[in-house]
Amino acid sequence: MSGLSGVRSFSPTGPTRDVLDRMAAAQAHRGTDGSEAWLGPGVGLSGPAHSVDGRWVVVLDGRVHHLARLRSHLDHRFRTDDPGEVVAAGLAVEGISFVERLMGAFSLVAHDLRTDTTHLVRDRLGVLPLHYRHLPGQIAFASEVKALLTVGPAPEVDHRSLDAYLTFRAVPAPDTLFEGIKTVRPAHRIAVMPGGHVEEVAWWSPPETDPDGTWEADDAIEAVRDGVREAVGSALDPGPAVGFHLTGGLGSSLVAAQAQQLLGEDPLETFSLVCDDGTGEDLARTRRLAVLLGSTHREVRLRAGDLTDLVTPLTWHRDAPLSDPGDVADHVVARTAGAHVGALVSGHGADELFGGHPRYRLARAAERSSTLPGRLRSGLVGTVERRLGAPFSAPERRRLLGGAPPADRRTASAPGIDPVDRMMRHDLRHGLPDDLERMDRMATAASLDLRLPLLDERLVELALRLPTSVKVRSGCTLWVLREAARPLLPDEVIEHRGAAGGPGAPGAHDWWYTAARDQARERLTGRDSWVAQTFDQALVRDLLLRHEHGGHETDRLWTLLALEVWHECFFGAAPRVPRPRQSAGVRHPA
């Protein structure tokens, strides 16, 4: 984790050191201070590496986990251990296509001095963020939007993105809620050419699913078991001490158990969340698992007051509305872990790759509903949308916004061999990258690296090739992953069918409303409320009233409240933001 930022200018004056310093300072929590800014003809970058032939200038954010293999492949004498130097050397040999060899969670900027072209590249799944902004005579780019806000005029809200936000609680790439600020899509690179012409190229595509019958069950189980072992091993490569986030779910349990087997007698550092009441089935499960692993286990208590204290500064870190109150929980765990380790390992990704989300059971119904006649379709689609997790159905969104969404902002369906496969690939393209960006921001707000071994590209490609029949079998989700985990985990963990608990889990969001009830009502209906001025006020008031009478509307109210806080944060008074401090060589917040 280091962060990247820079400016590509097409005017005679070019970027200045002052601009680069401001951009770097805005995202200093990512580990960059701009002290090694580089200024070239029409381009400025913070902290770059250079190729020996002088052609390429590279800034890398994130982690490439096969550097030794790349160094051997390049047969080059490296001057430092900087991964950016390895990328620069590879570009000097193979050109921009070298990025296709990179494996890991990364974003990078590579400027080619010979062709005067700047390439913005994002990893396959979008684990590391990368944004850019068109400005008069220049294009600015950075890991986080807030760095782009230091360059050029204050942006406006992109009202064309509001329908997507009300559908997904996030705006899928390449759009954002800021007018004129874009996100580089996962597995894509943006080429910024002389004169400002921009081209977008996909440099990786998910493999097609193998037909049913290609895989014997035992072969699929063994392949997944080997893939998990290799992926967790890569996450444990030399670097800062790592800890493990235990959620009570299969993914986090499997990753921790596999790491313990690989490390032998060295005890793991594990962390789990405890709500104010200190109860819950998942809490008991994580405690028993920590005992089984023999880990040094710490429970992180989340209090309702944490929401009031953290929602605004974390919205600033997120550059977007917090997806749900679980974002606060993730940050609190990362903040505590950061006092003991330099990186936190998560089991996130199991549900998206191996069919664990309950909504996948609705995939066939969702596709059938889209083919019904108009009147029947409009009613059923709204119901299915809500069951699939959309905060607001299409009719409700039209009422809130006063019209239909822009046609060019509708997300296209993904290809696949069956409805479940298509829904999982749609999540891989849209939902998962937004979720990963959320996790990245909550960890970097604590100046902590996040590692996601179940999203290792080799395991991802294997999972995508496996047919649905080995992922969801006889009503059992995550079937092949459960079977692969049997040598490492007790049946109690493997057979558990619930989602991971905590404030981020479905149906567990009511905890925040008690602490924020009066604040929520004022922010959503008050005279200065942007939400009240932008959306249909009657529907907003109806949601509040229904919840007060037992309607369980906290998910929808959070969606609106988080948007209001985001607007206050970036278009109102600047928030007070927590700053990191240094202690015993480990970065963590004050």
Q: What is the pLDDT of residue 384?
A: 72
Q: What is the dihedral of CA 122, 330, 425, 469, to 10 degrees?
A: 140
The predicted model gives 375-389 an average pLDDT of 63
Closest among 181, 237, 189, 182 to 87, alpha carbons compared: 189
Predicted confidence (pLDDT) at residue 276 exceeds the cutoff of 90: no
430 or 439, higher pLDDT: 439
Q: What is the pLDDT of residue 382?
A: 63
Closest among 456, 469, 425 to 208, alpha carbons compared: 425
Q: What is the pLDDT of residue 39?
A: 96
Q: What is the pLDDT of residue 158?
A: 96
Q: What is the pLDDT of residue 308?
A: 83
Question: Is residue 311 within 8 Å of residue 321, measured between CB atoms?
Answer: no
Q: What is the pLDDT of residue 226?
A: 98
The predicted model gives 500-513 an average pLDDT of 50
Predicted confidence (pLDDT) at residue 585 exceeds the cutoff of 50: no
Q: What is the pLDDT of residue 316?
A: 96
Q: Has domain 217-357+420-494 been given CATH number 3.30.450.70?
A: no
Compute the radius of gyration of the chain from its Cα atoms. Answer: 24
Read off the pLDDT of residues 513-572 as tens digits, 9 standing for 90 and up: 777 788 889 999 999 999 999 999 999 999 999 998 888 898 999 999 999 999 999 998
Predicted confidence (pLDDT) at residue 366 exceeds the cutoff of 50: yes
Q: What is the pLDDT of residue 376?
A: 42
Q: What is the pLDDT of residue 157?
A: 96
At 244, the pLDDT band (50, 70, 90 cuts) reads very high
60 or 476, higher pLDDT: 60
Q: What is the pLDDT of residue 32?
A: 61
Q: What is the pLDDT of residue 79?
A: 79
Q: What is the pLDDT of residue 238?
A: 73
Read off the pLDDT of residues 4-25 as tens digits, 9 standing for 90 and up: 999 999 988 889 999 999 999 9
The predicted model gives 490-505 an average pLDDT of 65
Question: How many degrees, rounded to 5, is the angle at CA 6 between CA 99 and CA 239?
Answer: 55
Closest among 204, 212, 268 to 236, alpha carbons compared: 268
Q: If you average pLDDT over every residue of the chain, what do you get? A: 88
Tokens of 39: 């200024």
Predicted confidence (pLDDT) at residue 575 exceeds the cutoff of 70: no
Read off the pLDDT of residues 175-226 as tens digits, 9 standing for 90 and up: 999 999 999 999 999 999 999 999 999 999 999 999 989 999 999 999 999 9
Domain layout of the chain by residue ranges: 5-202, 217-357+420-494, 362-419, 511-571
Predicted confidence (pLDDT) at residue 67 exceeds the cutoff of 90: no
The predicted model gives 270-290 an average pLDDT of 79
What Cα–Cα distance (Å) separates residue 556 from each residue in 161, 162, 303, 350, 382? Answer: 17, 14, 22, 26, 15
Beta strands 117-122 and 131-135: pairing type?
unpaired
Identify residue 570 by its one-letter amino acid code: F
Closest among 58, 50, 57, 61 to 27, alpha carbons compared: 61
At 260, the pLDDT band (50, 70, 90 cuts) reads very high
CA pair distance 99, 207, nearest whole angstrom: 18
Q: What is the pTM of this model?
A: 0.91
At 441, the pLDDT band (50, 70, 90 cuts) reads very high
DSSP one-letter code for 157: B
At 509, the pLDDT band (50, 70, 90 cuts) reads low
3 or 114, higher pLDDT: 114
At 362, the pLDDT band (50, 70, 90 cuts) reads confident
Which of helix, strand or coil describes residue 36? coil
What phi-psi label fits residue 146: left (phi over 0), alpha (psi between -120 and 50 degrees) or beta? alpha
CA pair distance 112, 335, nearest whole angstrom: 39
Cα-Cα end-to-end distance for the chain: 19
- 5-202 and 217-357+420-494 have identical folds: no
Read off the pLDDT of residues 82-133 as tens digits, 9 standing for 90 and up: 899 999 999 999 999 999 999 999 999 999 999 999 999 999 999 999 999 9
288 or 583, higher pLDDT: 288
Predicted confidence (pLDDT) at residue 302 exceeds the cutoff of 90: no
DSSP one-letter code for 472: S
Domain 5-202 superfamily per CATH? Aminohydrolase, N-terminal nucleophile (Ntn) domain (3.60.20.10)
The predicted model gives 29-42 an average pLDDT of 81
